[in-house]
Chains A and B, each alone.
Chain A
Amino acid sequence: MKDGDAAPAVDVRGLCMRYGAQDVLNGVDLRVERGEILALLGPNGAGKTTTIEILEGFRRRTEGHVRVLGVDPETGGERWRARLGIVLQYWRDHRRWRVRELLDHIGRYYRAYGTPDRPRPYPADELLARVGLTGQASKVVGDLSGGQRRRLDVAIGLVGNPELLFLDEPTVGFDPEARHDFHQLVRDISAKNDTSIVLTTHDLAEAETLAHTIAILIDGRIAARGTPRELSARYSESVNVSYRRRGDDHRVAVPEYAAVDYVRRLLDGDPGISELEVRRSSFEEAYLSMVRSLGSARRVLDDAVRPR
């Protein structure tokens, strides 16, 4: 039996979540196809973690239609749970266990759920090699570095060979190299294991490099949804033009509709122009301008301008 195999990985319509008088989620619509990587992007407090916890079956929603792998998370049993991989935001558990010992133990819970086209669990040694922890296999978990610990968390999330993997702010506290390696790993998982991935992040660059689709969650609503390129095009208002004229560097921001005319007149008017560069503003600029226009600027700035 393949329960809900044809269903999208995630199908959410009109999801609301209220704590007392406070609306945390206010009609979220979200759809993730099989094999897709979706980044749920948004400032702190926007409801990212609440959304993901509802999808994981850890939190009861106030109202709305939610299906994960074709099943309502509130009634999803252990068989449904065995099809999910979950990487929590926190990583302090099992500190006295050894790396391979822990991975092997958690894998045992998935043994009963293997199918011919999706064997479970994923062999522990192979998985350790994939996340680059072979050398740490007999190390005590509490002695791992932050990056190693996070890779172990991902390995634990993958040990059940999941159809859908949740990554909740997976790279907080990473240095640039660890972040790069981690992104490589996530792409690799998505490509080779036929695993859909939902990740939350407030790192714009991360969403831009990893995701097929970005959904921006602001004030409990999906404010925008699209590929990184679409979003960038939709929300950027200006184009940056830079050039060199008689030894001086110039840089001008031009409204998008006027950009082509501006460049034509510039070149026609002066043959001495060199090193011309015309660049649409970056996704980060687009994101900030969008969030500002949606009225949450202060909170977002606190968050996004934080040095990475």
Chain B
Amino acid sequence: MTTTGSIVRIGLHRGLIELRHGLSLTFNYVFFPTLAVLVMYALRGFSLAGTDYSLGAYAIPGIIAMNVLFTGLMGIASALMVEREDGTLMRARATPHGTVGYFVGKIVSQAALTCVTFAVVLTVAIALFDDFTSDPIGGFVTLCWVLPLGIVAMLPIGVILGVVVRHPRQLSFVSLLLMGMTAVSGIFYPLALQAPYLQVTGQLFPLYWLGLGMRSAMLPAELAATEIGGSWRPVETAAVLGLWAAAATALALLALRRMSHRAAGSRPRAAGHGRAAR
């Protein structure tokens, strides 16, 4: 019999191969965040209200957090949509334990790709700005739990979207929603300085907490004063991201189960496939 361990191993094998394919697309993923970092570099002369800290440097951790949203969450959602249409998911269903292997592989490759693009954008940011934290080791330790937790909170949302959203065309609507989430998550400007209802809304979403965690890792300690409650709130960050991770994972598993029960619903349509060769 196939053991869980051996399926996970096959999934890992799949993930590593897909990561290799994905790496050739790294440029696509890092292009916009790098552009954003450069824009912030141009804005370095402006300072954050009430401080003499560069507004540009302040936004960098948030931009890196956004990268998890767009590479990880959107990446997995669009991959699922494309691969449901092109028959990859059908192929997985035709293979014993293929669907499990497929999803393990997809999560592994997309998480790894998120880490790679994260490292690229971080390197560019560190090269351009010299006013990050004076405690890089402490910052690194913080990153080591914030980033994985953020990925685990975001990827299952991508899986849910990829299963629920039926047509690639609807993906642009999803992008719009994610932009809205970015707008209320205090990425570019402290949420503490915005309207109270925006503060409440922003704190409901994982992106705010991921951004906060990133800022706590990268920015000087005294900037904690600009945050809600005047603190980095690491315990709350871990709790909210953990809650999102658990809820999203449970929902994603539910969505996957429903998908596999919806008989042949994932069968690709005929138009535009090999039949067109007639």
A101, CB-defined interface residue at 8 Å: yes
- CB-CB < 8 A to B93: which residues of A? 58
- CB-CB < 8 A to A275: which residues of B? none
Decide: A96 and B21 in contact? CB cutoff 8 A. yes
Determine which of B1, B86, B101 lies in contact with A92 in the assembled complex, contact meaning CB atoms within 8 Å. B86
Decide: B10 and A59 in contact? CB cutoff 8 A. no
- A97 touching B273 in the complex, CB below 8 Å, given contacts A59-B263, A79-B96, A156-B91: no
Give CA–CA (A106, B278) in the complex, Å: 29
Q: Which residues in chain A, 106-130, are within 8 Å of chain B measured between CB atoms?
A: 106, 108-113
Decide: B97 and A78 in contact? CB cutoff 8 A. yes
Decide: A86 and B94 in contact? CB cutoff 8 A. yes
Q: Which residues in chain B, 96-121, are within 8 Å of chain A measured between CB atoms?
A: 96-98, 101
Decide: A108 and B88 in contact? CB cutoff 8 A. no
Decide: B264 and A113 in contact? CB cutoff 8 A. no
Decide: A88 and B87 in contact? CB cutoff 8 A. yes
- CB-CB < 8 A to A79: which residues of B? 1, 96
Decide: B91 and A94 in contact? CB cutoff 8 A. yes
Q: Which residues in chain B, 8-29, are within 8 Å of chain A measured between CB atoms?
A: 10, 13-14, 17, 21
B267, CB-defined interface residue at 8 Å: yes
Contact count band on A: 35 or more
Decide: B87 and A109 in contact? CB cutoff 8 A. no
Decide: A109 and B10 in contact? CB cutoff 8 A. yes
Q: Which residues in chain A, 157-210, are within 8 Å of chain B measured between CB atoms?
A: 160, 172-173
- A172 touching B278 in the complex, CB below 8 Å, given contacts A91-B87, A93-B87, A101-B17: yes
The proximity string for B residues 63-88 relative to A, scoring 1 for CB distances below 8 Å and 0 otherwise, is 00000000000000000000100111
Give CA–CA (A96, B14) in the complex, Å: 13
- Name the residue of chain A whose CB is nearest to the CB of B88: A93
Decide: B94 and A88 in contact? CB cutoff 8 A. yes
Decide: A108 and B90 in contact? CB cutoff 8 A. no
- CB-CB < 8 A to B98: which residues of A? 106, 109
Give CA–CA (A93, B87) in the complex, Å: 5
CB distance from A201 to the nearest CB of B (A): 13
CB distance from B11 to the nearest CB of A (A): 10
Decide: A56 and B101 in contact? CB cutoff 8 A. no
- A78 touching B87 in the complex, CB below 8 Å, given contacts A90-B268, A110-B96: no
Decide: B267 and A58 in contact? CB cutoff 8 A. yes
- CB-CB < 8 A to B274: which residues of A? 89-92, 146, 149-150, 172-173
Determine which of B17, B95, B264 lies in contact with A97 in the assembled complex, contact meaning CB atoms within 8 Å. B17
Interface-central residue, B2, B6, B270, by most chain A CB under 10 Å: B2
- CB-CB < 8 A to A106: which residues of B? 91, 95, 98
Decide: B273 and A53 in contact? CB cutoff 8 A. no
- CB-CB < 8 A to A60: which residues of B? 263
Q: Which B residues lie at the A interface, using CB under 8 A? A: 1-3, 6, 10, 13-14, 17, 21, 83, 86-88, 90-91, 93-98, 101, 263-264, 267-268, 270, 273-275, 277-278
5 shortest interchain CB distances as A-B pairs: A173-B277, A93-B88, A112-B2, A78-B96, A82-B96
Beyond the given A89-B275, A172-B275, please list 15 additional residue pairs across the A-B interface where CB-CB is below 8 A. A56-B94, A58-B264, A59-B263, A59-B264, A88-B90, A89-B270, A90-B90, A90-B270, A91-B87, A97-B17, A106-B91, A109-B2, A109-B95, A110-B96, A146-B277
